Chains A and B, each alone.
Chain A
Amino acid sequence: NAGVTQTPKFRILKIGQSMTLQCAQDMNHNYMYWYRQDPGMGLKLIYYSVGAGITDKGEVPNGYNVSRSTTEDFPLRLELAAPSQTSVYFCASSSHRRQRLVNTEAFFGQGTRLTVV
């Protein structure tokens, strides 16, 4: 059981380049999230999805785009990379049942370390 898999693990981008951070989960979770983690700043939510075809902005969505065409995959797109996007990016997934608002564990991937130069 792989859990949440993120690729690549490391990447260096030049200013203005584009890239897609991949995230896949094999737990059939309906919720998926993208966070960025800067030193001393905790985890900030970029985008999240409550199911295939549904996405919504988090706290810091500017400069990013997402799509959720399947339950398993939730890629994050950077269109015009900027130095401010240098960070560690984490994808997470969790399972929620709307009727009972039961909270279950959010599982995280190992992260993607992105440097924009």
Chain B
Amino acid sequence: QKEVEQDPGPLSVPEGAIVSLNCTYSNSAFQYFMWYRQYSRKGPELLMYTYSSGNKEDGRFTAQVDKSSKYISLFIRDSQPSDSATYLCAMNAFQKLVFGTGTRLLVSP
């Protein structure tokens, strides 16, 4: 069983839609939960991170963590074509940073 599971997509939505991206994990030691965005042929860039359970909002983006279910989500409101990218969840415990496979998101005008 992989430590972090993420649907690879692609996920296609029209502009303005609400997008929900999700990951599940198996290692209860994970403490920090992150979302990275990766544009084509670029390195990943940190979008948001949260510590432990709860919600965190940043503009159109909301990160949600449910440690009891080992489930994290990223919501994108009013999605834009510029949001088209691969979104990778990541989580760490101490020195180990583990990534999901990434979900490719396509937002059409």
Contact = CB atoms under 8 A, between A and B. Distances in A.
Interface of A is mostly: strand
Contacts of A90: 43-44
Interface residues on A, range: 20 to 34
Interface of B is mostly: strand
Interface string B31-56: 11010000001111110010100000
Max chain A C-beta neighbours (<10 A), residue from B6, B31, B97? B97
B45 A108 contact: yes
B97 A40 contact: no
A105 B45 CA distance: 9
Interface in B80-99: 88, 90, 92, 94-99
Interface in B1-45: 4, 6, 8, 31-32, 34, 41-45
Contacts of B41: 111
Nearest to A91: B43
A80 interface: no
A46 to B, nearest CB: 12
Interface residues on B, range: 20 to 34
A101 interface: yes
A33 B90 CA distance: 14
Nearest to B45: A108
B101 A110 contact: no
Max chain B C-beta neighbours (<10 A), residue from A42, A44, A105? A42
Contacts of B95: 31, 48, 50, 56, 96
A61 interface: no
A100 B104 CA distance: 34
Interface in A38-58: 40-45, 48, 50, 56
14 contacts: A33-B97, A41-B101, A42-B4, A42-B6, A43-B102, A44-B99, A45-B96, A90-B44, A103-B31, A103-B32, A103-B34, A106-B97, A108-B43, A110-B42
Interface of A: 4, 31, 33, 35, 40-45, 48, 50, 56, 90, 92, 94, 96, 101, 103, 105-106, 108-111
